Amino acid sequence: MSKKRRVFDIDLPDDEPAPETKSVGETFPAGKVSNNETKRRGPMATAINETAESVQDRTVLEQKIRAENDALAHEHVRMKRMGLMTDLIPLDDIVIYKLSRDRDQKPDYELRELKTSIADVGLSNPIRVEPREDGKFELIQGFRRLSAFKELRDENPDVEAYQTIPAAIFAQGETLETLYRRMVDENLVRKDISYAEMAKLAITYSEDLETEISDPDKAVGVLFKSTSYQKRSYIRSFIKFIDILWKDLKFAEEIPRALGLAIAHAVEEIPGTITAIQSELREHPWESRGIPEELEVLRRVVGGEGAEAKATKRKPAKPGAGIAPAGSPASKAKTSFQMRRRQGQAKCVAGAGRLEIRMDRDFSAIDRRRLEMAVQSLLDYLD
């Protein structure tokens, strides 16, 4: 069988240019085309070229977006570290565990004014929190503001505005000392924290298992570093009696500076001052006792307003000065140390009339008889 032969029609130009019209030496090398021919590129080549240009443009655009995202991420981290990131956080997602508060859990009679202000104009100064691994937030600053919001929520359960609270979110990683300092400095700026509360905070800080300081006097130097030497001296004076009388005093935060100095001096110089104050306070029932009655008891025991005037004229004592010899009735010296146990770190504080062991363990869960035998063995060994 014969094969069919295909014939292709080729259109040739009708008029070939005359030899004299050609340029001398003008040639068209194989594989090359004239400028006019390049304009007649096929659809496949055009598509490939456009795709290449598109990929190049896309790469440049992706690099630009990536650089912008990196810049935004760095800015986000920077603002978070500075506490400039704020959000509305549900009240139930905020816990109070890491820091011992600078305020006692007694009734706050000024909280009503804060609640009224929040209800009228909102919260002008957000609280400060730190994110936790479990998705909740640890309160760093703003205990009274959080308390006011919780009371407003309980009083107005249907008001959505009181279900969340504005909070500045700090990045994790700050030391416990820094967090305490932030809390202290905020209250010092507000000027509404009393000497008794500052003394109590120093005591609590020294008893915290997570801190390295066991001496309240040294804790004052850490927490109140930004204050004057004289003010730190006043705080140390309050420590001498606040540590023992805190649970007996209903209005410790109302004690004026002069009265506090007089009490500290009497505790150092007059044996039995603490016992006398406790005895006098028992004659005024806690429930019906007011601020004037409590301050009057304190003034009467230490010698009246004249004792306050003398106390303010004394020069501030240096840390550790004025401590009576160990064993004397007026001695308020302490021995403190830490030890590592199987259950974790234990902190021991020994002072006049007391011995405390603090650690992350529920001692009430121990059998009473077993606990009694352990304490008996300890006391027998000390004798």
Please name which of 327, 102, 97 lies closest in space to residue 235, comparing C-alpha atoms: 102
Structure confidence at residue 315 (pLDDT): 60
Q: What pLDDT, in 10s, does the model give residues 177-208?
A: 777 766 666 665 555 678 998 899 888 888 87
Question: Residue 46 pLDDT more than 80?
Answer: no
**Distance of alpha carbon 314 from its chain centroid, rounded?**
37
Confidence of residue 94 (pLDDT cuts 50, 70, 90): very high
* Domain layout of the chain by residue ranges: 63-174, 175-332, 335-382
- Give the pLDDT band (50/70/90) at residue 351: confident
pLDDT above 60 for 17: no
**Cα–Cα distance measured from residue 164 to residue 374, given in angstroms and rounded to the nearest whole number:** 48
Could you identify the residue written with the tokens 């929520």?
A: 153
> According to the model, what pLDDT value does residue 132 have?
85
**Topology classification of domain 63-174:** 3.90.1530
Q: What is the pLDDT of residues 212-258, one digit of tens each?
A: 788 889 889 888 887 888 989 999 999 999 988 988 999 998 999 99
Task: Report the percent of the chain where pLDDT is more than 70.
Answer: 69
23 pLDDT above the threshold of 70? no
Report the predicted TM-score, pTM, of the whole model to 2 decimal places: 0.52
Beta-carbon contacts of 341 under 8 Å, excluding residues fewer than 6 positions away, are 359
CB-neighbour burial class of residue 261 (10 A; exposed 0-12, middle 13-18, buried 19+): buried
- Tell me the per-residue pLDDT of 246-280, one tens digit each, with 9 for 90 and over: 889 999 989 999 999 999 999 888 888 999 999 99
| Residue of 91, 86, 88 lying closest to 149 (CA atoms) | 91
User: How much is the pLDDT for 9?
Assistant: 54
Q: How does pLDDT run across 49-58, given as a tens digit for each residue?
A: 777 777 777 7
What is the four-CA torsion angle of 133, 137, 141, 146, rounded to 10 degrees? -160
